[in-house]
Amino acid sequence: MANIALTLARPRDAQFIAQMSRDLVEAGLHWSWKPARVHTHIRSSESNVVIAKEHGHLAGFAIMQFYDEHAHLNLLAVDPVYRRAGLGRRLVEWQEDTARAGGIFCVNLEVRANNTGARAFYRSLGYREAHRIPGYYHGREDAIRMTHDLTRKKEGELHA
């Protein structure tokens, strides 16, 4: 983990991010985060695409989109080789810090309802399950909308 650098994505990273999304996030669904869509978010001033690389290998990424009152974590993926080492947490925290810096204190996301591991991961970061969205994933799978109030301190964190 010590050699993994987090940086903003560049247009040349779009293909690798899209492939990782297809294989790890969108597996079994219609592939919607193709390179052109990822590229659009990399170039947009209203999105932030952060990547994690180790020796040129894409270990993970996170895409967040910013609105007036909230941010939306569109995608998060970590290569299975790098899971359970805190990389997903680092990627999400980078995005949350960016939201706070922009004066945004609410983050929303959707996760597959049957992905209990991802739901537990987000809960550990302070997200709460808001509601179920039937057929969210192309009418095939339900999603759970999760939200995080960034003004609230995490459990065990001291107030300054």
Q: From the candidates 26, 82, 96, 122, which is the catalytic residue?
A: 122
Encode burial over 33-52: b for 16+ CB neighbours within 10 A, e otherwise. bebebbbebbeeeebbbbbb
**CA distance linking residue 11 with residue 137, whole number of Å:** 27
Annotated active-site residue 122? The verdict is yes
* Cα 139 to Cα 103: distance, rounded to the nearest angstrom: 34
Give catalytic status of residue 110 as yes or no: yes
Nearest CA-CA partner of 25 in 77, 65, 79, 81: 77
Among 93, 110, 129, 141, the active-site one is: 110
Q: Just list the catalytic residues.
A: 110, 122
